[in-house]
């Protein structure tokens, strides 16, 4: 993995206040990621246009509505929503943004799966970088937050071997 991205992941995981967009009422992967951050002791708020609470934690319709500053924003959304929330993150002073893509930072496998399941927006990535934010354009925190389950250990192993 690129040393700069590895450093960004370590820094992101050292944050305490994180907003997570991509949770849902229907049990999407964002729900598991949200629960993993909560279980690991992070101060987490959800971003969802139609929910006010998730798993006992507050949810807000947009990042602009979160009443306290957050240090990081994790996105498991479609790229258009990623762009919109990255713009909000810039406007609210968020320092880190992580755009989910299970197959890594530079996907070298699972291309057909990645195309329909990535949160990475190239436009959002460029805007965030221009704004001086630290950006993780891919990967998944489930591969990094301990304890890591066997599925995510395997995905991490494949990503490392493929240079993703």
Residue 114 — very low, low, confident or very high, per pLDDT cuts 50/70/90? low
- Hey, where are the domains in the chain? 3-162
The alpha-carbon radius of gyration of the chain (Å, integer) is: 15
Contact criterion met (CB below 8 Å) for 132 and 86: no
CA distances from 125 to 59, 138, 145 (A): 24, 11, 23
Q: For the whole model, what pTM was predicted?
A: 0.86
| Rounded Cα gap, residues 20 and 107, in angstroms | 23
Q: Which tops the pLDDT comparison, 8 or 114?
A: 8
| Rounded Cα gap, residues 162 and 152, in angstroms | 15
**CATH topology classification for 3-162:** Rossmann fold (3.40.50)
pLDDT tens digit sequence for 13-72:
999 999 999 999 887 888 999 999 999 999 999 999 999 999 888 999 999 999 999 999
């Amino acid at each position: 993995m690129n040393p700069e991205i590895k450093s960004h992941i370590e820094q992101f995981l050292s944050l305490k206040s994180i907003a997570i967009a991509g949770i849902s009422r229907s049990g999407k992967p964002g729900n598991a990621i949200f629960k993993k951050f909560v279980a690991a002791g992070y101060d987490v708020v959800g971003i969802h246009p139609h929910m006010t609470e998730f798993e006992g934690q507050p949810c807000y319709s947009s990042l602009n509505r979160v009443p306290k500053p957050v240090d990081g924003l994790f996105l498991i959304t479609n790229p258009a929503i990623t762009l919109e929330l990255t713009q909000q993150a810039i406007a609210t002073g968020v320092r880190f943004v992580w755009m989910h893509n299970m197959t890594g930072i530079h996907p070298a496998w699972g291309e057909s799966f990645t195309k329909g399941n990535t949160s990475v927006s190239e436009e959002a990535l460029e805007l965030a970088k221009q704004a001086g934010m630290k950006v993780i354009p891919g990967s998944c925190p489930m591969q990094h937050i301990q304890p890591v389950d066997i599925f995510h250990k395997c995905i991490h192993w494949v990503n490392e071997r493929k240079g993703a």
